Amino acid sequence: MANHYYTVTWDQLHRDAKALAWRLHSVGPWKGIVAITRGGLIPAAIVARELECRLVETVCVVTYDGEQRGQPLVAKAAAAAGDGDGWLIIDDLVDTGTTAKKVRGLLPKAHFASVYAKPAGKPMVDTFITEVSQDTWILFPWDTEPQFIAPLAAQTP
């Protein structure tokens, strides 16, 4: 279990993904984007829109079961991207770098970008927007939903 949790809203994710696109705009042009599923799908869609990139491929890597990290399993490779030359890889978060290392092995010439990065995974990405501590678990908007929380004064210790 993580020591800290950080909730990212849809608005914040959209702003951060646009900021990522802004940084990536001057690094391109790109032949296409490879989204790492599932977390990279939404940021990749936002970046693709901002960069007017119409070719979006996926690489499907299973690394987590809930908060438990396992060995990465490639369920689907990004065949259209070849060795990654001229391609942009997008993920929501690079945590330990395990998934990033696996994808870099498949697409060694691609530019790797993530919206969020933790210290252990940061060396695996070329571009990111926000660094969070290693002991923080990010709750993305697709993993949460709004619910009522009693006021602090009404909660019993």
Name the packing angle between helices 10-25 and 41-50 (round to 10°): 50
The CA dihedral of 13, 134, 57, 103, to the nearest 10 degrees, is 170
Closest CA to 2 of 48, 69, 81: 69
The residues annotated with a catalytic role in the active site are 91-92, 95
Distance CA 58, CA 76 (A): 8
Cβ atoms of residues 74 and 102 within 8 Å: yes
Query: Quick check: bond before 38 cis, omega within 30?
Result: yes
